[in-house]
Amino acid sequence: MDPLLVFPDPPPEWLTGVLDAAAYPWRAVTDAIMAGRFEPEDGWAGAVVVAGSESDAGFLLCRALRKRESALAPLLLVVEKGQLGELELREDLFDDFIVAGASVAEVEARLAHLFWRTGRGKQHDLIVYGPLALNLETYQAALSGRPLDLTFMEYELLRFLAAHPGKVFTREVLLSRVWGYEYFGGARTVDVHVRRLRAKLGEEHAHLIETVRSVGYRFGSVRWLPGSG
């Protein structure tokens, strides 16, 4: 996938963390001239422009990107909550917008939808569940934009569970499906890794891995629906 154009340079740290966690390649620019100078041969994949507290620069860049011979799209605009009123009568300058500080899940969903609308489609595989995002290409996990420091087996266990939300697995099934049939460790191995995962998810999100008494573990809730959390 060609890189996304990102403004400003340097971008806010939360935004770079979100884009990296979602595995979108990107390059920051300072203005429209730099955007043209560093544009890839096949063109930018799209743009993420932060309006910032001094929004004129961000909106001016959006206008310049739209007035090109081939208008740049999709364009995702990032604004502060206090700037929402500034979007009125400027709808032609962007395709969608988010409020600064949005989660990996929201940014990924907005970009994926924009790429779908422009016919580009999704360019990489992700598992997104609420605030949790797992990148299947880079083996990275992030929670609300914050990268999680997971061991390989912690990641594999979380990936397997998150790929089957609402389904209950016994410890024995998890051992065979995650660790492999030739693994001779006991069921306690699963309990240890679940405990470590919950600790890294933090108290607020530890419930994502539910214990089903006398059976095993389940990721998420059977009552959860996409977009509900």
163 in the same domain as 109: no
Q: What length is written for the chain?
A: 229
Residue 147 neighbours by CB distance under 10 Å: 14
Residue in 30, 74, 82, 68 with CA at minimum distance from that of residue 48: 74
Supply the mean pLDDT for the chain.
85
Q: 204: domain range? A: 149-219
Q: What is the mean pLDDT of residues 173-189?
A: 80
Those residues with Cβ within 8 angstroms of residue 116's Cβ, 6 or more apart along the chain or in another chain? 122
Q: Report whether pLDDT(81) > 90.
A: no
76 and 176 inside one domain = no
Whether 137 is covered by a domain: the verdict is no
| 183 lies in the same domain as 96 | no
106 and 167 share a domain? Answer: no
Span 132-171, pLDDT tens digits: 888 887 788 888 778 899 999 999 999 999 988 889 999 9
- Top pLDDT among 48 and 125 is at 48
Evaluate whether 42 touches 2 at the Cβ level (below 8 Å). Answer: yes
Structurally, the chain folds into a number of domains equal to 2
Residue 1: the pLDDT is: 65
Model pTM?
0.54
Amino acid occupying residue 143: L
- Map residue 229 onto helix, strand or coil: coil
